[in-house]
Amino acid sequence: MMQPFYLAGILMMALFLSCLRPESLEPCVEVDANITYQCMDQNLSRIPDNIPSSVKNLDLSFNPLKIIGSHSFSNLLELHLLDLSRCEIETIEDEAFQGLHQLSALMLTGNPIQSLSRGSFYGLANLQNLVAVEIMLASLESLPIGHLITLKKVNVAHNYIHSSKLPEYFSNLTNLEYLDLSNNYIQTIYHKDLHVLRENPQLNLSLELSLNPIDFIEPQAFQGIRLHELTLRSNFNSTNVMKTCIQNLDGLRVHRLILGEFKNERHIENFDYSVMEGLCNVIIDEFRFTYVNGFSKDITHFSCLANVSAVSLVNVDLDNLENIPNYFKWQNLTVSRCNFEHFPPLKLPFLKSLIFTNNKGAVSFQTMNLPSLTFLDLSDNRMSFMGCCSYHELKTSNLKYLNLSFNGAIFMSKNFMGLEQLEYLDFQHSALRKTTEFSAFLSLEKLLYLDISYTNTKIDFNGIFYGLTSLKTLKMAGNTFKENTLSNVFINTTNLTYLDISKCQLQQISWGVFDTLHRLELLNMSNNNLLLLDSSYYKQLHSLKTLDYSFNHIQTANEILHFPKNLTSLNLTNNSFACTCEHQDFLQWVKDQRLFLVNAEQMTCTTPVEMKDSMVLDFRNATCYMHKTIISVTVISVLVVSTIIFLVYKFYFHLILIAGCKKYSRSESIYDAFVIYSSQDEDWVRNELVKNLEEGVPPFQLCLHYRDFIPGVAIAANIIQEGFHKSRKVIVVVSRHFIQSRWCIFEYEIAQTWQFLSSHSGIIFIVLEKVEKSLLRQQVELYRLLSRNTYLEWEDNALGRHIFWRRLKKALLDGRTWNPKETTETENTKEEATTSI
């Protein structure tokens, strides 16, 4: 049901936007407003005119533009980069790019250009990089770039150039650094072809000639020429041709010479290293050799390279590097992806840097003799090291950089004795053994960088990092700690600024672990199993800027969080936040701190189930208050209701009485008195009270429940309806039985209410026998009333009876012709008379 609305919404939005911007940039994509536009592959046959004139980077590639007329870009004068690759361009007219003074890069790749005129590139006052690959260019002469004196790079690869002659206009291109002529049809290089280079010795050119089918280089063609770099890869189709050509490079002075082939362009089946012997008359600083299938692997052919300072051998079949004579001045040697049968125990006195990586055959490290070595990278060889590491194996005490990462097992048996100069040490993804049996790094006081990530190390020894007092970076992700508790291993690494302990299965952190790391700026604890965020661990990290706690199981924080002042980025994403009211303080903290939390808007809740995958920032603390309110309202209502029920229950009859009060007016009274008595005293009531009052003069009408109550009506209702409402007075016959009877007391209580409601003294107490005061006191209220109200004592002698009946009749008569004033007066006098018991 939602979808149509949604679609409609989008449509409306689109309409709105298109109204807002009638000049929609269709078909171009605005990558960076007013700066970068991409109009690639839009079947455009002309340059779109709705592109802002401020555009700097414009990609028009793969459109059938066919022709670039003059002043085509006169509206886009700010262009820096223009890509016209594969636009089927056949013609570039005069002054086509006129006005593009800012343009620094022009791509014309893949256009079948038939016609370039002399002024095609006029106006490009600042062009530095021209890519004219695959434009069917037949010769450098026909490329009209002689006036582009700012050019630094010209790429004319994949064309039909047959001649290696560099035209005279090159002497104008004094800034030229790179000329790519690869993949053309150059077969010969003559002395005169390079005339312009000889004329301009200040040029610092890198010349790329790979993939030209060179079969002849004139002797001394390069005589007197200085190049920055010369690349000749996959140029020769036989060792003999190559040998002659290489020999004829004599007289060249080149900073970097790159020889060999390409992985997919192998022309020489069995390479003969004797071609190297032709390099004796070339002055080379750096030599690179790639993709060669060896034939004779004799290293002695390298003798012409003895004075080279840096040698790089990549994908080369070689096997006896250890035979390199020790007079070789090589300082840097890179050997990568070469097929060795065993590790070469090199002996090169001048070697400073050895990079020996990715070589399959080398499986076991052997002692070398490289006294000048400072940089050693033996990574990625599947090699094992039986005893690591000390001066004994490397025979150098100058080593600063040692990389043994991505290898096999490394047994730590020596504590880097003689290698105290080490500053960088990398063991990641190798299997470190015995690291935790002693303080292996104790002597590495100068070490700045240590990586033991993913080395299968189980850290159960707190002294593992003793001695690393200068260490700045420690990476130890993917290891484990004893009992999954981060222990106090950082006591002595007080200079740390970067610490990575992610993926260590950590569940707990010992107290004070980080307390010595006052310089730490980045701490990565992500991808562990931590449950609680507790800022007190980090309070000593005064320099901490970044704390990564992502991918843990954090539900909440246990207290108010106070992180070091310098912390600018805290990553709490991908945890298991509990979005319940119980943790609302923490959730509110998240909201308040969302600017310094990384991707706070992506933090999701995990519990409770109904909140799963909802956003932490969406948590409303108002719901918590609502809950509280609801709870308190409920509690109060329950209390009130139960109190009411209790009261109603307790005073049910009193209420009925109250209700009845309105119904029965006083005049309706048909009884003179309602008698409350204990059934034990019924004899007295029948024989004395009823006889004397009902049969006497005047006769009184008494209400007696054994006689006057309507059968079938609840007794209590009878008491109220018949007894109280229809009687003027109530006679309470007080005896020991009465006080002990709960029912009588109940009746009496109702009577009291009735008296209160009738607001006149209607209760007459008859005390049948002398009741013990203590017994009477149990019934506190009765006692109080007795001592305050009219009461008559029944006496068993004649005179007493006479007085008794007279007083009773008088009391009953009182109110028959009722006068409130009189009553209060008589009451008062009675009170005075009877307050003695």
Binding residues (CB under 6 A) for ligand NAG: these are 33-34, 43, 45, 52, 54, 146-147, 149, 169, 172, 177, 204, 206, 213, 215, 228, 237-238, 280, 286, 304, 306-307, 310, 332, 352-353, 374-375, 466-467, 469-470, 491-492, 495, 526, 542-543, 546, 548, 550-551, 566, 569, 571, 584, 588, 598, 621
Neighbours of 23 (CB within 10 A): 9
Contact 465, 475 (CB under 8 A): no
712: Cβ–Cβ under 8 A, 6 or more apart, which residues?
none
Dist. CA 45–CA 67, nearest whole Å: 9
Least separation in angstroms between residue 724's CB and ligand NAG is 58
Q: 605 or 751: whose CB is closer to ligand NAG?
A: 605
Q: 146 or 660: whose CB is closer to ligand NAG?
A: 146
What are the Cα distances from residue 158, in Å, to 112, 129, 133, 242, 255? 12, 17, 6, 22, 26
Contact 567, 573 (CB under 8 A): no
Question: Which DSSP category does 234 fall into?
Answer: S
Least separation in angstroms between residue 461's CB and ligand NAG is 13
Q: 226 or 414: whose CB is closer to ligand NAG?
A: 226
Q: 135 or 308: whose CB is closer to ligand NAG?
A: 308
Q: 169 or 664: whose CB is closer to ligand NAG?
A: 169
Least separation in angstroms between residue 140's CB and ligand NAG is 12
Least separation in angstroms between residue 495's CB and ligand NAG is 4
Q: Which residue is nearest to ligand NAG (CB)?
A: 146
Residue 88 phi, psi dihedral angles, 5° rounding: 55, 30
Q: 550 or 721: whose CB is closer to ligand NAG?
A: 550
Q: 584 or 701: whose CB is closer to ligand NAG?
A: 584
Kindly tell me the sign of the dihedral angle through the C-alpha atoms of 116, 118, 119, 123.
Answer: positive
Least separation in angstroms between residue 241's CB and ligand NAG is 7
What are the Cα distances from residue 507, in Å, to 520, 526, 532, 553? 22, 12, 9, 9
Q: 136 or 149: whose CB is closer to ligand NAG?
A: 149
Write out the DSSP string of 135-175.
S----GGGS--TT-TT--EEE--SS-----PPPGGGGT-TT
Least separation in angstroms between residue 488's CB and ligand NAG is 10
Least separation in angstroms between residue 204's CB and ligand NAG is 4
What are the Cα distances from residue 812, in Å, to 19, 418, 723, 803, 816? 101, 127, 15, 14, 8
Least separation in angstroms between residue 661's CB and ligand NAG is 53
Least separation in angstroms between residue 106's CB and ligand NAG is 17
Contact 578, 605 (CB under 8 A): yes
Contact 570, 547 (CB under 8 A): yes
Alpha-carbon torsion, ordered 61, 65, 69, 70, to 10 deg: -20
Least separation in angstroms between residue 474's CB and ligand NAG is 14
Q: 574 or 790: whose CB is closer to ligand NAG?
A: 574
For 160-165, the CB contacts below 8 A with 24+ separation are 160/136, 160/184, 160/185, 161/137, 161/185, 161/186, 162/138, 162/186, 162/187, 163/139, 163/193, 164/188, 164/189, 164/190, 164/193, 164/194, 164/209, 165/140, 165/141, 165/190, 165/192, 165/193
Dist. CA 314–CA 290, nearest whole Å: 5
Cα angle value 548/551/556 (rounded, 5°) = 85
Least separation in angstroms between residue 448's CB and ligand NAG is 9
Least separation in angstroms between residue 307's CB and ligand NAG is 4
Dist. CA 474–CA 452, nearest whole Å: 8
Q: 411 or 466: whose CB is closer to ligand NAG?
A: 466
Q: 353 or 556: whose CB is closer to ligand NAG?
A: 353
Least separation in angstroms between residue 228's CB and ligand NAG is 4
Question: Would residue 38 be called left, alpha or beta, if left means φ above 0 and alpha means ψ between -120 and 50 degrees?
Answer: beta
Least separation in angstroms between residue 498's CB and ligand NAG is 12
Least separation in angstroms between residue 787's CB and ligand NAG is 60
688: Cβ–Cβ under 8 A, 6 or more apart, which residues?
794
Dist. CA 376–CA 367, nearest whole Å: 13
Contact 443, 467 (CB under 8 A): yes
Least separation in angstroms between residue 635's CB and ligand NAG is 21
Q: 94 or 831: whose CB is closer to ligand NAG?
A: 94
Dist. CA 73–CA 49, nearest whole Å: 10
Dist. CA 244–CA 214, nearest whole Å: 11
Dist. CA 449–CA 424, nearest whole Å: 5
Least separation in angstroms between residue 632's CB and ligand NAG is 16
Rg (CA), the chain: 55
Dist. CA 216–CA 126, nearest whole Å: 37
By the 10 Å C-beta count (0-12 exposed, 13-18 middle, 19+ buried), 292 is classed as buried
Q: 375 or 783: whose CB is closer to ligand NAG?
A: 375
- Residues facing residue 288 across a β-bridge: 258, 312
Two tokens, residue 831? 């009170």
Q: 494 or 740: whose CB is closer to ligand NAG?
A: 494
Cα angle value 440/446/450 (rounded, 5°) = 55
E-strand stretches of 224-360: 226-233, 253-260, 271-272, 283-292, 294-296, 310-316, 332-336, 353-357
Cα angle value 447/449/455 (rounded, 5°) = 110
Q: 270 or 566: whose CB is closer to ligand NAG?
A: 566
| Element (DSSP H or E) covering residue 196 | helix 195-199
Q: 423 or 681: whose CB is closer to ligand NAG?
A: 423
Q: 315 or 574: whose CB is closer to ligand NAG?
A: 574
Residue with tokens 């980080």: 514
| Element (DSSP H or E) covering residue 750 | helix 742-758
Least separation in angstroms between residue 301's CB and ligand NAG is 12
Q: 52 or 69: whose CB is closer to ligand NAG?
A: 52
